[in-house]
Chains A and B, each alone.
Chain A
Amino acid sequence: MKAIEALHRTARTTLRATLLAASAALLTTAAAAESGAKLKVGLMLPYTGTYAALGNAIENGFKLYLQEQGGKIGDREVEFFKVDDESDPSKATDNVNKLIKRDNVDVLIGSVHSGVAMAMAKVAKDTGTLMIVPNAGADAVTGPMCAVNIYRSSFSNWQPGYAMGEVMAKKGIKKVVTITWKYAAGDETVRGFKESFEKGGGTVVKELNLPFPNVEFQALLTDIAATKPDAVFTFFAGGGAVKFVKDYAAAGLKKTIPLYGSGFLTDGTLDAQGADADGLMTALHYADSLDTPKDKAFRLSYAKTYKLQPDVYAVQGYDAAQILAVGMKAVHGDLSKKAEFAAAVERDKIDSPRGPFTMSKAHNPVQDIYLRQVIGKENKLIGVASKALADPARGCKN
């Protein structure tokens, strides 16, 4: 009896001790941080869930640039640390802390979901870690949350909307109904659209929205039909974009009320949308048939390396690596020189597959927004919607 009690006691104490030791080992930061040699890049992207394909494309694009530079950026070899953000903003702060405080990364790359990117931006701003956003277009990241160490290689939600508004106003369209999800990406795109469209003489007669990520559009499509506008402008992405385009055609609206949208409506979704997407005009900072030497070379090498066709997300990942390289060259690998890094990036032109672009003071790309149309199974370039469009970066004190 007593022996068993003693055994019991020791077993419990040892179990407790091992548990504490194991947790300490998992949590305590590695002894003596690495001395300058390898560049630690933290990738915080969605590797599961609806945005997994986007996360993979961004990582592929980033690694492609690295491969082209012989595996080094700014004369330093790169070590990757990956965290799956699951597109869940509630775990974002935790996940980014893992990268910054446990793995001590030098550069943070992420993310796709705006909510996640916002959480990351807050931590990056507080800790001063270099961060490059390869997709999330939330205006806040280069707006009120802008900082000397936060950059974006993709776009701001305002840009494609504004460009499309200009195009539609020039076409002579007068009455438009907008429809989108009620979240930052949707709201900000529509706001950008409304700004230029109303400046060009048009009116937005109705702004429809539904909660994200709801995809029951029938009731709202009926509403659009009843309102009878000249055209509809929309922002949807991923699964929602697929469903919306199909529902719009199934409701018979495609023939009577032309549909325009931000490019994400037809990017990466054409296979699933099929014939319902034919002829749709969208505005985005990339197109499938740019035909420039840089883009052709990029698409060829991406297809060869990954056996997939690249999309706008891959380009954004590739350009994130370019921005990093530009800055690294200027500071000779010493990332603590944040002001010099920023000055170099703001000064140089980034030679991107989408076309060369510069970075604004708020660290958002100043780029051409292309007008594309779905022909065959591609987003074919039919013109430039807006040249060298800069996001107004409202609220940024950079």
Chain B
Amino acid sequence: MSRFKLVFVGLAFLGMAAFPAVAGSYGVDFVTKVMVYAIFALSLELLVGTTGLVCFGQAAFFGIGAYAVVLLSPQSDAASVYCLLPAAVACAAFFALLVGFLSLRTKGAYFIMVTLAFAQMAYYVVHDTPLGGGTDGIYLMFKPLLGAWLDLDKPLALYGFTWACLLGVFGFLALLNRSRFGRALAGIRVNEQRMRATGFSTYPYKLAAFVLSGAIAGLAGFLFAVKDGFVNPELMSWHLSGAVLIMIILGGLGHLRGALVGAFAFALLQDFFKSEAVFGSMAKHWHLGLGLSIIASVVLLPSGLVGLPQQIRARLTGRSQTHGVDDAST
């Protein structure tokens, strides 16, 4: 089974690498955005899919990474990626450490609410205080350079850099899932009490996963700020936290490629509902279509799009589904 998964992932990455050759500038922009969202979704996948911690405040780390780029960039010159990227990621990771420290002592629904509240706190810090630019946002005047040879101001360069980051994060998480650390996280997801009974202290593992997830989300935020050249508090809004959660559920929870598929599917779904060609004047009420799709996908696609072939096969052969809960899924 895993060979198919590998082929699928490989083809997906090759497809994305070859895409700029056939697409126009809008297509390149669009897929860059989706790749950034995919990295964002992968960060949440680590928390929700692997460790079983449902975090509803992921947008805060994303936004902090983005704001760090703008606030730490010099006003009149381009910064170097070698300095800016680690700095942005570190800021996001640091905030994740603080939030994780305070919230990981809680569980379940409480944890969900606490993470949401902390994300709102970050939102208000940026929105109200002079630290951020207020509700209108701030400009990134000069996009950073990777050494002397890659100027991230050029869309193709940014596309390639984002593709490389996505590949790196994907590979890293795939290896992580197979490592002892990843196994421990999976164990925590399945039954935390049992883990503790066998002598594992679960708190440091959960905290580590939380900080790692925040760091990856910060990376996604870095890329987003560089792409747009403009950041504003809505990057930390809880609607974005909800959107990324939808992405991984839509794609398929528990599978890394689910984050990829989910990010693409969500972006395409949004565009589909917004298109006047299909919906005419109802296009401006696209939230309705999106809301109904979310409800439908939770009810009808419990394993997400990635699990769709299995669902169809099960229906065709009449076999009941068995979930492989402890296989290291890519």
Contacts and interface: CB of A to CB of B under 8 A. Distances in A.
Determine direct contact between A and B, CB below 8 Å. Answer: yes
Contacts, number: 114
B240 to A, nearest CB: 7
B258 to A, nearest CB: 14
Contact of B124 (A11, A16, A28, A211): A211
A84 B284 contact: yes
A4 B313 contact: yes
Contacts of A8: 309, 313
Binding site secondary structure of chain A: helix
A153 B223 CA distance: 34
Contact of A115 (B31, B232, B284): B232
Contacts of A92: 230
Contact of A89 (B24, B136, B284): B136
Contact of B271 (A26, A29, A82, A84): A26
Contact of B136 (A82, A91, A184): A184
A136 to B, nearest CB: 9
A50 to B, nearest CB: 13
Contacts of A47: 284
B26 A29 contact: yes
Interface string A323-343: 000000000000000000000
Contact of B23 (A12, A27, A184): A27
Interface in B24-43: 24-27, 29-31, 33
B135 A28 contact: no
Contact of A119 (B12, B124, B134, B137): B137
Contact of B25 (A23, A29, A90, A122): A29
A139 to B, nearest CB: 11
Contact of A28 (B15, B27, B283): B27
A282 B101 CA distance: 51
A79 interface: no
A322 B23 CA distance: 36
Interchain residue pairs A-B with the least CB separation, the first 10: A29-B24, A101-B26, A27-B27, A90-B234, A102-B26, A115-B136, A89-B232, A183-B135, A93-B228, A211-B128
Given A90-B232, A145-B139, 13 more contacts: A12-B4, A20-B15, A23-B264, A28-B22, A29-B26, A47-B284, A93-B227, A97-B29, A98-B26, A101-B25, A118-B139, A119-B232, A211-B127
